[in-house]
Amino acid sequence: MKFVSLTRHLGMAIAAFVVVTACGSTSGGGTASCKPSTATSVADCGGLDALVTAAKAEGKLNIIATPPDWANYGASINAFSAKYNIKITSANPNGSSQEEVDAVKNLAGTSSAPDVLDVGLSVALANTALFAPYKVATWNDIPTAQKEASGLWWQDYGGNMGIGYDPSKIPGGTINSIKDLLGSGFKSKVALAGDPTKSNQALNGVIMASLANGGSADDVSKGVDFFHQLKMAGNYVPVIGTAATVKAGQTPVVFEWDYLSSSHGKDVSGWKIFEPSGALLGNYYTQAINKAAPHPAAVRLWEEYLFSDEGQNNWLKGGARPVRMAAMEKSGKLDATAAAALPKVSGNPVFPTPDQQTAAGTYVKAHWSAAVG
């Protein structure tokens, strides 16, 4: 989520003429001077104060697939709710990107529909018809390649794909190569953190495996082949890796984003993360507003918060790299301690283009069942 300091960057936008009642409808319908459901920036609602008034009147926000320990989302959820007295309903916290989209479609027209989505880029690109254009106040800090020009989607935080593992449960206590996972000492131990036909994180685990086995961002087939080999060796566990399965020892080796994998250290002593040089894969998640959001003012205020300095630093404290990181480092607003704690990596990560992500998802959906089940 991208946010600049709201007081600093929005102050000019809420100049003396702000009418705080401009967006006062409790239904989000607004008034003749402001309709939150069609606002494409905070200025469209007469400034931040007016948007806050409208959001407080709605009093609710629906989020989905955002567990509190995912990139420190809990800190933002708690801070936003306390700051604006807005109740946040968090549905299906461990859901996939595709399940977020399914909820938007299945709950359309109801008060329980998700207001906002946080999805993988390939899923976002396939569903732009569901999104409302909006540009947060810190829009200019977001690199051009990481946002849709009209504001239909924009990236928020990211990291690198890694292989997290419990060293006490594998041969030698160390993974030095992705090919190590094919060894007999990894029987029933290797998992993905989702279904790659639905989950952005799991899909990128397959892409990373492809990079490490002679494939490329344009050729994910080597990754599907690798997981087929894992299955044939009896090493692949057809269980979605989560904090609970890691803690229970059910999935001691998991393909997962490094900023999520690091959290397992609180449950598993000595937990390590292997990020293969030469196959380093980076990726950012994507924000989008449901164009039929039941709480149109609250969701826009939520985006302003997430992309403020405070919101961006919350993700950074969770081990994720916020999209405004470069701009905040330049301005001196970046949490230096949290930045210094990020995993050290060797080499430059590959960032698949939107077309490559989409093509990879299409290939995996067509071949995963036959190859892995």
For the chain, domain boundaries:
6-156+285-340, 159-282+345-371
pLDDT at 311: 98
Provide the token pair at 133: 């254009």
Contact 274, 163 (CB under 8 A): yes
Residue 310 vs residues 136, 235, 241, 300, 334: alpha-carbon distances, Å:
14, 42, 30, 16, 9
pLDDT at 34: 67
Q: CA-based angle 30:84:94, to the nearest 5? A: 95
Residue 109 phi, psi dihedral angles, 5° rounding: 85, 0
What CA–CA distance (Å, rounded) separates 134 from 281?
29
**CA neighbours within 13 Å on the CB side: how many for 211?**
23
Q: What number does CATH give the domain 159-282+345-371?
A: 3.40.190.10
Contact 311, 3 (CB under 8 A): yes
Contact 279, 145 (CB under 8 A): no
Tell me whether domains 6-156+285-340 and 159-282+345-371 share a fold. Answer: yes
pLDDT at 6: 30
Provide the token pair at 110: 């109801």
Model confidence, pTM: 0.79
pLDDT at 33: 57
Amino acid at 320: A
Among residues 249, 205, 247, 248, the alpha carbon closest in space to that of 230 is found at 205
Place of tokens 């899909």: 203
Could you report the per-residue pLDDT of 296-339, keeping only the tens digit for each?
999 999 999 999 999 999 999 999 999 999 999 999 999 999 99
pLDDT at 28: 44
Residue ranges, the chain, pLDDT below 70: 1-34
**CATH of region 6-156+285-340, choose from 3.40.190.10, 3.30.70.890, 3.40.1380.10, 3.90.79.10:** 3.40.190.10
